[in-house]
Amino acid sequence: MNNPFSVKTPESLSAEDIAKLFIDVFSDFPRLLEPEHTFLHGTRGTGKSMMLRYLEPSVQLAAKKVSNASELSHYAIHIPIKKANYGLSELERLDGASYWLLSEHILAVHVVIHILESLESLFEKSNEIDSDTDLGWKSFSRDFGSLCVSSGIRDEFESLAPTREQSFKELKGIIRGEYNASTRYLRKLTFSKDSVPYENALFGYIDFLLPLVELVIGLDVTPSAPIYLMLDDADNLPARMQKVLNTWVSYRSTNQVCLKITTQQRYKTWRTVQDSLIESPHDYSEIDISTVYTSKGHSHYYNQVEKVVQKRLEVYGFCSSPEEFFPLNEKQKIGLSAAAKEIESHWEKGLGVSSRKNDDVLRYSVSEYMKSLKIPKKTNTFSYSGFRNMVDISSGVIRYFLEPASRMYNEVVSMRGCENEISSIPIDIQDRVLEDWSKEFMLNQFEGLIRTESGTTAETRSESSQSLRLRNLLVSFGNGFRKKLLSNDSERRYLSFMPTREVDSKTQEVLDLAIEWGYLYRSTIGRKEGIGRNTLYVLNRRLAPFFKLDPSGYAAHMSVTPAHLALAMENPEKFVREKFSKEDENSESHGRQIDLLPDQ
């Protein structure tokens, strides 16, 4: 038996594995299925690649969504960008038309190879049903060869192998040969001061990819519907090649090709080769997974994680529910219940803050319980164990649930030595793993990021400075939010902040870096005046155990001036002292300390 919570890259999973483990989340992102160009944004681990791979014909067939691929409403082809070598230093030395033509050719070659691999797999699966016909592969090979010849390839396509398997192997070999020819040409340029003519084929979106797509759509084994070219992790492309991809988006060829492009919040430009701007919703739609799962959709995200975990437990033979497998700390549950009853009594005496009793309970029970743990002679600490707490801490990123869960499982197996005896994860192991995992995010991982950004050039020194300013920002708000949580203020549970005015470019760069690395999420909130929206920055709840914060969904939004933000990035202690101490002096003490008994 394997670890039911192990995290594997979707590229390494078979179609059968994905069909078995995937939970349908497309109700949360319906526009991803629409026949239009779409950018899907999300930090690493939010499930972008899994969604794309689930749309592939092989997975749809394995999941028994259709009996034949031709019945699908689209033909999806997953094209991972991360594995391709687009950072060719030789290519980046080129300028003008030579760069644009060669970079588009290299990108198009990568797409064509994945189209051929997908078709080869589709023909193989279809042939299992109808083995008496060639299913159109011979005519496709002939027409594809003619298209290649018209683009400048000199190979003799008439002499292709008579078997389908060998024919597709030869076609892929010819296309890979064109990629190799391009890279050899670029290397020649490195060692030559003279102009070197380019004498190989050039593939373009209009003159090669679109005609190829028409051939694919015309096959009997494919649906008569648009092809979804799903370019995964496109922010790994160099900025100028992203302009090439944006140019493809600007063509609006969605009746034939729909580009589904994922990014990890590092996409550098929205300009085309002609330097025009592509815009939403005219040219494309845009989805941000982090925004969906860290705002109003947070409760729905809980349901999605519950389905994922339940399915994994069932697949691996466990009878427990997610709540049973990751139990709460019962002693803490009793303490929180006592705090809630005291707050209810306080409200019923007319001393409450909210207009509803349940609102006061929601706002203050965790705060009052945490304050009770600060009483001298008490040694117990706040526990983050329990399925709901783990979902909250995962902060809208499914991998942030699975990774600590996998560690917990391995630790229990290591202690007991027998997987069959596991029915739940003990409280102490949950707490220890979550605390270590949170520390890694703030300490170990952050130190690694700073070292990665360090260097000898002015540019890398600037990046290193940004990293240090970001760490100061997190320490400032982490400690400040903790101070608020233990106060008697009417508002205590903060996990987000909102700049009152537009910040300067230097501050914005640090905020953008925090979003890129997943320490903050960007959202928006309506202005009190009712016109427009303000930008909101939400702290990743994975940091809650490190700063001893309440990770649950409800939290107030803290307004900060640009001056305070700048101070937070330079001097955390002074920021907390100036920002939070002054607020404490000006706030009313609506709450009071609850005296819980030691045995509670």
Cα–Cα distance measured from residue 464 to residue 467, given in angstroms and rounded to the nearest whole number: 5
Count of H-run helices and E-run strands, the chain: 24, 9
Q: CB of 104 within 8 A of CB of 238?
A: no
The pLDDT value recorded for residue 474 is 96
- pLDDT value of residue 12: 86
Tokens 């084929």 belong to: 201
What pLDDT does residue 435 have?
Answer: 96
Q: Is 151 left (phi over 0), alpha (psi -120 to 50) or beta?
A: alpha
Question: What is the model's pLDDT at position 594?
Answer: 42
Q: H-type helices in 22-136, by residue range?
A: 48-54, 57-62, 89-92, 96-127
Q: What is the DSSP letter of 441?
A: I
Angle between helical axes of 239-250 and 96-127 (0-180°, round to 10): 70
Task: Give me the pLDDT at residue 427, please.
Answer: 96
**Spatial distance between the Cα atoms of 3 and 309, rounded to a whole number of angstroms:** 12
For residue 571, what pLDDT is reported?
95
| pLDDT at residue number 456 | 38
pTM above 0.75, yes or no: yes
With a cut of 50, which residues of the chain have pLDDT below it?
Answer: 129, 131-132, 297, 456-461, 463, 587-600
pLDDT value, residue 196: 85
Q: How many CB atoms lie within 10 A of CB 200?
A: 18
Compute the distance between CA of residue 362 and CA of residue 410 in angstroms, rounded to an integer: 35
503: which residues sit within 8 A by CB, 6+ positions away?
Answer: 511, 562, 565
At 599 the pLDDT is 35
pLDDT at residue 309, rounded to an integer: 95
> Do you know the residue count of the chain?
600
**How crowded is the C-beta side of 250, counted as CA atoms within 13 Å?**
16
Q: What is the pLDDT of residue 189?
A: 84
Average model confidence (pLDDT) across the chain: 86
Residue 448, token pair as written in the block: 């690694």
- Res 419: pLDDT: 59
